[in-house]
Structure 1
Amino acid sequence: MTYLEKVMQRIKLDKELLTEELADQLKEKFQLAVAANFCPGDFIIGGPMQMNHTCPKSIHCWICWHQEADDR
Structure 2
Amino acid sequence: MYSYVQKYDDGRVSYPFCLIWFCPEGCEPEVGMIYTGSKMNVVSMSGATKVFKIREKEMLTKDWLEEQIKSSR
TMscore range, shorter length: 0.3 to 0.5
Tell me: higher relative CO, structure 1 or 2? Use CA pairs within 8 A at least 6 residues apart.
1
**TM-score calculated relative to the size of structure 2:** 0.35
Higher strand residue share = 2
**TM-score calculated relative to the size of structure 1:** 0.35
